[in-house]
Amino acid sequence: MSALLALLTFLALASAAAKPNAGLKTWGRFSKLPYPGDKAFLYDTFPKDFIWAVGTAAYQVEGAFEKDGKGLSIWDTFTRGGNRMATGDVGSDSYHNIHADVRAIKQLGVSHYRFSLSWSRIFPNGTRGSYNEIGTKYYRTLIKRLKESSVQPVVTLYHWDLPDHLQQTLGGWSNPELVEIFKDYADFCFKTFGDDVKYWITIDNPFVVARHGYGTGVVAPGIKNDPDLPFRVGHNLLKAHAAAWHLYDRHYRPHQQGKLSMALASHWIKPSRTRLESLRECQCSLDHVLGWFARPLFTDGDYPPCMKARLGSRLPTFTREEREQVRGTADFFALSHGAALSFQLINDSLKFGQQEDLDLRMLLYWVNAEYDKPPVFVVQSGWYVLGNTKTEDPKHMYYLKRFIAEALKSIVIDGVNVIGYTAWSLIDGFEWHREYGIRRGLYYVDFNTPDMKREPKTSATFYRNVIQKNGFPELPENRPAQGVFPCDFAWGVSANSIQVETMPSQFADPSVYLWNISNNGALMRLEGFSAPPLRRTAHCADYATIRQQVDEIQQVGVNHFHFSLNWSALVPTGDVAHPNTTLLGYYRCFTRQLLQANVTPVVTLWHHTRLRSSLPAPLDTANKWLNRETPEAFADYARLCYRELGAHVKMWITLNEPNDEMVSYQEGHQMLRAHALAWHAYDREFRHTQGGQVSLALHMDWVEPAFSFSREDVEPAKRVLDFRVGWFAEPIFGSGDYPLGMRSWLRQLNSLELPVFNEEDRQLVKGTYDFFAISHFSTKLVTHAKEDSYTYTAMLEVQHMIDTTWIMSPRPVVPWGLRKALNWVKEHYFDVPVYVMANGVQEDPARFKDSLRVYYLYNYINEALKAYTLDGVNLKGYFAYALSDQRDPGFGLYGQVHEEIIVKASLSNYRNIIQHNGFPIQGAAPQQCPSFPQPCLGCHVLVKRPVVGFLTLVGSGVLITLGLIIYYTAKRHKECY
């Protein structure tokens, strides 16, 4: 009976275990998660008992390579051979700086500190007979100081620095004798330090030790002759780990109560195609790196089938007894992830044609699925900066943020049992094959000072804040706002241009058709017959394209539509006395039809594009905007448009996004004059009769300091905004001159490029606005610390970068940037009316279920609501960009397949927001808005010519009366018969 019970128990456990290749479902699972909601940043906290740690490795930081009886390690020898330029002889000199290291650890607020023991410092020749008491005392002191600071040690027995004597005499890890030698070393460490250590790592990253220490020769001991040697080395490493685990389990665990594992590192990989074959290659890639050691430990004591199939006899075999000895010898899954392996020590041959990625969350999910839900301790994670970087390391900080955020999602959303996270590393040190070319520390080490002074970097401050808050708790500003916009809020949609039809399509076909009413009702064209030409004047209703576009705009539910005129097409010769009357008539019809549909037209006179100037040909060939005559010509063109279209257009944009970084300061100066002349022309000649408003629209993506509580980054952000936005805004909305910060910076650079306003031009430009209009799409981070020359702007001395947790498409999606941009306008120009004249995101035009645009519009409009309701920004309107992919590819609310117009999901979502005038509080009484009268297109006649209007009404009444008299007289005459 007991035998049967034991069998049933075994079968139950076997069925509960993870199925082989269970991780294969990972890619499919993540491809089905809701996009982009799943990619959005998760504001939440980690479990209360979560382990926050930081780590180092002995050879990287200790130094003192020959001090107090320490023996040579393979790295001491390796760094003195070949073409290597530097050594870890001194490193960060942690051997003499326990106090400084512990102080840094305490400042971070971590609960655990991972460090490694230098085997050759304790046993100089690798065996117990060479025991060094002074070296052992160093680690006793370190552990004591940690415990006094309430920090628990996580101790690694072997982090790549094998005693050189063992390498020289035995061949290092290629010799099976090292299994027992390592076991004896582990026994000493458990006995000596074990009462104070609850987490042990036997061997760090055996993949790198085996493949690159004994295969490629990239790291110590630098052997690269035998292609099969790495697999024999890996075999010995696994058996050495298993021997140490069983030793601890039998003799030390009962009273020390610790846990032990092997630190396994891995990249992440994604399929280059969606086929099953690609997924299997991804699985095989992970098996060759992580599974090589993880499967024997966590599954069946043997290598992954993929490795065995591809390597055959090159891969050593385990006996049945060895499999049982290795299987199950890990109390938790110790996972390393980041710069030590990813994109550096994984060559293409191990990617099997797939694409490497940095997705820690997917890797955690794969480990969870593949190895039957083990507790996962991330024992190394982080990134790096260049070796010349000092205390400002925002790049490292944002990678840390990304990896920690992915670990949080893994816990909260994916249900992975992640028990701890270790930022790597505590301090800068010797970075293995990269030597001192990169830095990975949270603390900057000045290697040129005698005491190796440690200074916290921006990444240290960030990590400390995360630990204090136990993650990323949701703050009030992170929550969606509830409320509505004012009743007269302008809801709009923008387009760079509209579709123009130069010939009316209605009545344009002269063919004669026969209506087959007796059969299918089809029209049949009669060959050889044509109707006589019509001698009627074209009407606005004849333009099918106008009807179609106005219908599309109406379906969105907006009350405003913003589009641009084409100056070069309207006045091709540059002479407003000879305009393109056909095109002018079309624009007149378009704006009239918009008004009849109760949509207010907002018209831009000139839209800046980088591809072409859009200036009339004579100006385009005569120095463009640098021509002093161009502003006057623009003012004349503006008068033409005001005169011909002003009856229907009450909102004008003179220049749309002239503040492009490709525009020179001299060109910008003339554009400002052109805008001012056009504004004054309207103000003096048309405003009193037309009653409209005129301004310009500036491109205003937000610029955020990469490290918001560092003055060194706040100043560059202000500087970029001065040069990008203040350049045009300050002369018009402010002082009448360019921003002081802009002038002083250029003066500091001895630059004379920025023109000077004379008093006449200052008075001309200043105050030429009726509202402040911005186009906003995205947000950038800036820092003063140069990291990447490709994204560094030397003239402004700013490094552009992004937060790696942001959604990308292809520009970052950062909703709160809009709120900050609106507040910048308020802080600089007070209660000026503000319109968001264009706001949208680029998405694959083939995605008609455009979930990214749905997410984008909802969240950006919600941030606009916060700016209005919470910050007091005088926000008057919001325009989504754009109407259609046909005119603005990738940005449209409408898509198109051949000739068919497709309504995207974002359109109905935007219409729903408009219908509710925002995001009303659930259960609150509906907003009571007065009904606005429908536009009366003939009413301006009564206003401008009251006598004519009165006579028209009287005449109409007389005609109607005569008609009725004639009708009833004829009726009575018939009744007489």
Is 749 among the domain residues?
no
Confidence of residue 18 (pLDDT cuts 50, 70, 90): low
* Interior angle at CA 790, CA 786 and CA 793, nearest 5: 60
Residue 848 reports pLDDT greater than 60: yes
- Between CA 353 and CA 278 the distance in angstroms is 8
- Cβ burial of 360 (10 Å; 0-12, 13-18, 19+) is buried
pLDDT given for residue 13 in this prediction: 37
> pLDDT tens for residues 894-907?
999 888 999 999 99
- Between CA 178 and CA 182 the distance in angstroms is 6
Map 902-913 to HEC letters: EECHHHHHHHHH
H or E segment to which residue 692 belongs: none
Contact assessment for residue 672 and residue 732, using Cβ atoms and an 8 Å cutoff:
yes
Is 125 among the domain residues?
yes
Is 948 among the domain residues?
no
Average pLDDT (301-326) is 97
Q: Which of 604, 489, 501 is nearest to 549 (CA)?
A: 501
* Residue in this structure with the two tokens 């685990």, named with its chain if needed: 245
Cα 862 to Cα 498, 817, 818, 893, 923: the distances in Å are 28, 12, 10, 19, 19
- Between CA 57 and CA 65 the distance in angstroms is 14
pLDDT given for residue 713 in this prediction: 86
pTM: predicted TM-score of the whole model, two decimal places? 0.89
Q: What does DSSP say about strands 651-656 and 702-705: parallel, antiparallel, or unpaired?
A: unpaired
Residue 872 reports pLDDT greater than 90: yes
Is 388 among the domain residues?
yes
> pLDDT tens for residues 378-418?
999 999 999 999 998 999 999 999 999 999 999 999 999 99
Q: In one letter, which amino acid is 679?
A: W
The single-letter DSSP state of residue 362 is H
Gap between the terminal Cα atoms of the chain = 118
Q: Which long-range contacts (CB under 8 A, 24 or more apart) does 31-37 make?
A: 34/851, 35/851, 35/852, 36/807, 36/809, 36/813, 36/851, 36/852, 36/855, 37/851, 37/855
> pLDDT tens for residues 355-381?
999 999 999 999 999 999 999 999 999
pLDDT given for residue 611 in this prediction: 73
343: phi > 0 → left, psi -120 to 50 → alpha, else beta; which? left
Residue 974 reports pLDDT greater than 50: no
- Between CA 463 and CA 422 the distance in angstroms is 11
Confidence of residue 78 (pLDDT cuts 50, 70, 90): very high
Contact assessment for residue 899 and residue 893, using Cβ atoms and an 8 Å cutoff:
no
pLDDT given for residue 307 in this prediction: 97
Residue 938 reports pLDDT greater than 60: no
- Between CA 362 and CA 364 the distance in angstroms is 5
* Interior angle at CA 448, CA 444 and CA 452, nearest 5: 50
Average pLDDT (6-16) is 37
Average pLDDT (261-281) is 94
Question: In CATH, what number is assigned to the domain containing residue 399?
Answer: 3.20.20.80
Rounded to a whole number of angstroms, the CA Rg of the chain reads: 37
- Between CA 972 and CA 686 the distance in angstroms is 55
* Residue in this structure with the two tokens 């699972």, named with its chain if needed: 29
Is 907 among the domain residues?
no
Residue 88 reports pLDDT greater than 80: yes
CB atoms within 10 A of CB 228: 13
- Determine if the peptide bond prior to 882 is cis (ω within 30°): yes
Residue 943 reports pLDDT greater than 50: no
Query: Could you give the number of structural domains in the chain?
Result: 1
- Between CA 911 and CA 694 the distance in angstroms is 27
Q: Which of 703, 702, 715 is nearest to 785 (CA)?
A: 715
Is 434 among the domain residues?
yes
CB atoms within 10 A of CB 111: 16
Confidence of residue 3 (pLDDT cuts 50, 70, 90): very low
For the record, the structure tokens of 81 come out as: 């051979």
804 three-state secondary structure = coil
Contact assessment for residue 356 and residue 268, using Cβ atoms and an 8 Å cutoff:
yes
For the record, the structure tokens of 872 come out as: 């007091």
- Between CA 886 and CA 500 the distance in angstroms is 13
Q: Which long-range contacts (CB under 8 A, 24 or more apart) does 246-253 make?
A: 246/325, 246/329, 247/183, 247/186, 247/187, 247/190, 248/186, 248/190, 248/194, 248/200, 251/187, 251/190, 252/190, 252/191, 252/194
Q: What integer best gives the mean pLDDT of the chain?
A: 91
Is 637 among the domain residues?
no
Contact assessment for residue 819 and residue 479, using Cβ atoms and an 8 Å cutoff:
no
Average pLDDT (116-135) is 98
CB atoms within 10 A of CB 793: 15
Average pLDDT (566-581) is 94
Torsion of CA 623, 628, 631, 632, to 10 degrees: -120
pLDDT given for residue 953 in this prediction: 58
Is 407 among the domain residues?
yes
Confidence of residue 5 (pLDDT cuts 50, 70, 90): very low
Q: In one letter, which amino acid is 169?
A: T
Q: Which of 246, 268, 129, 257 is nearest to 186 (CA)?
A: 246
Residue 352 domain boundaries = 19-268+279-468
pLDDT given for residue 942 in this prediction: 45
